[in-house]
Amino acid sequence: MEPSETSSKQYIQKEINVILLGETGSGKSTLINYLTNYFHNGTPGNLKIAVPTKYHAATEGLKHHEDNVQDASKSKTRACAVYNFRKQDTIFNFIDTPGLSDTEGVVQDDFNIQQIMGAAEQSGLLTAIILVINGTQARATVTLRNTLCLLRSSIPDVLLQNLVVVLTNCSAASVNFDMVHLKPWTVPEANVFYMNNCALSRPVSQWMDNERMKKAVEKEWESSMETIEELILSLTQLSGKATEAFTQMRMKRDMIKSQLHSILLEVKKFQSLQSELDVMKITQKSISTDIKKYSDYKRTKQVEVTEFEQCDYYSTICSLCSDTCRENKANVNPFQLILGTILNAFPRLNIAYNIINSFLSFAEPLCNCNHPLNKHYNANVRPVKKTKTFEEILQDVKNAYDQSMRKNEKIQSKIGNLDSDITAVKYALDEKEAEIMKCCHELKKLCSQFNFVDELQSIFDIMERDARTLTSTVARTDAEKRIRNIKHVVDTLSSTGNSG
């Protein structure tokens, strides 16, 4: 803050901070000039001007942020400016703020609101919030309704008891503005003041030489100074309120917007993971088809084999074809039986017999099986023909099956990892959604008239637009559900505020 006086502050016992709010052209800067004249002993013939206007140049050397003083459609105050005045042991700090609802639109209004709330927060202790309203307005115009909507979302409930209204360009008898337009706010009649700004609304040359006009201006001037006196007295009787609520509101608003933006990013991450998961599942389905296709890599083959079973009689068996040439003991040649027994008892003799037979085989008669007799032997067994089933592996099919199984194992691992990542993203989204809900309820407690719809609609529009671009049905359904949940809470809180 920049004091307008250089006198020592060692005797200052009290400091009063007041912020002025209103739409563009409502008369905030004009009120600052009237206050300047009150504290600096100005007169209609010797005006003390802190804020330059269309007809009056600045005279007090105070810092201001006025532009476009000739353009009534634009806010002349481009930034918050503090004007300091001293009366006895009290310092009055009046914070002039940019006008709301001018022709530069919503973006400028949002910027101005941020400036206003920042200035209020930095003041530390706020004695009063003065709403400056053009008292000649019989109806709440679009710009006034917009201004009040912005202010209702910006002023914490704890400061509503310190709300003061100054109706400009009118007197108590000529005022057109109906205080019902401020509902649900209620301002005590003692905190409503009426001011006619005619002394500063035209150049001095217009009335100075006209005695009748001069008397009218001087009369209005005197009345305005009395109103300023009453206003100052009223301010000294109000208790200052800590501006911590402005800080909390700013933090909650920033947190809500930050979490909503974070949800946008998480939803995009969800979309990316879900899309990858969908591709993996399609690939896995193809691999599962291959596994089923190549799983039949085994073939069964039936083969007829001859096995020998023990029996209680001797048979003559051909060692070449395994046929039973004689199956009954009674039909066995006794010589062959005795010979078989001897050869079985004496292995060396058996070897010699086989060697001799190998030389004599060409002259050996053939058995019924067309094999030489020396290729037969006698034993108490009989051949039995059986059909056996053998398993055959088709190696090329088996290789394809094994490869498909390895692919499936790898992709199943990737799917598991993606499922875990998606679960983590959903958990993060749940946490952010819960934090948004919590902040909305806490913000509602700080400012019961906070307009969540107006504050968050632009972000909701972006979220809904991005949700429509999601190609994953799962991700899109999840995103739309979260948006609906948050909007439901926002709508509920907003309707509760409006009904109050």
Residue range 121-160, pLDDT digits in tens: 998 899 999 999 999 988 888 888 888 888 998 999 999 9
Residues 343-397: tens digit of each pLDDT:
566 767 666 766 666 665 555 567 777 777 777 777 777 777 888 887 788 889 8
What pTM, to 2 d.p., does this model score?
0.70
Distance CA 492, CA 209 (A): 62
CA-derived radius of gyration, the chain? 52
Average pLDDT along the chain = 84
Which range is most confident: 68-72, 205-209, 236-240, 326-330? Answer: 236-240
Residues 309-315: contacts with CB under 8 Å, at least 24 apart: 309/381, 309/382, 309/383, 309/384, 310/380, 310/381, 311/380, 311/381, 311/382, 312/380, 313/380, 314/378, 314/379, 314/380, 315/378, 315/379, 315/380, 315/381, 315/382
Using the predicted structure, report yes or no on whether residue 24 has a pLDDT greater than 70.
yes
Torsion of CA 306, 308, 314, 319, to 10 degrees: 60
Question: If you average pLDDT over each of 311-320, 379-388, 486-495, which comes out highest?
Answer: 486-495
pLDDT-derived band at 492 (thresholds 50, 70, 90) equals confident
Asked whether the predicted pLDDT for residue 10 surpasses 70, the reply is no
pLDDT band at 500 (very low <50, low <70, confident <90, very high): very low
In contact, 325 and 363? CB cutoff 8 Å:
no
pLDDT of residue 340: 57
pLDDT, position 328: 63
| Residue 85 confidence (pLDDT) | 93
For 250-285, the pLDDT digits (tens) are 999 999 989 999 998 999 899 999 999 999 999 999
Which residues, other chains included, contact 202 with Cβ-Cβ below 8 Å and sequence gap of 6+? 55
Q: State the pLDDT at residue 362.
A: 52
Instruction: Please state, in angstroms and as integers, the Cα–Cα distance from residue 13 to each residue in 7, 9, 37, 91, 178, following that order.
Output: 14, 9, 23, 8, 38
Contacts 24+ apart (CB under 8 A), 110-117: 112/75, 113/150, 113/154, 115/79, 115/80, 116/19, 116/21, 116/80, 116/154, 117/154, 117/246, 117/249, 117/250
Q: Which residue has the higher pLDDT, 66 or 358?
A: 358
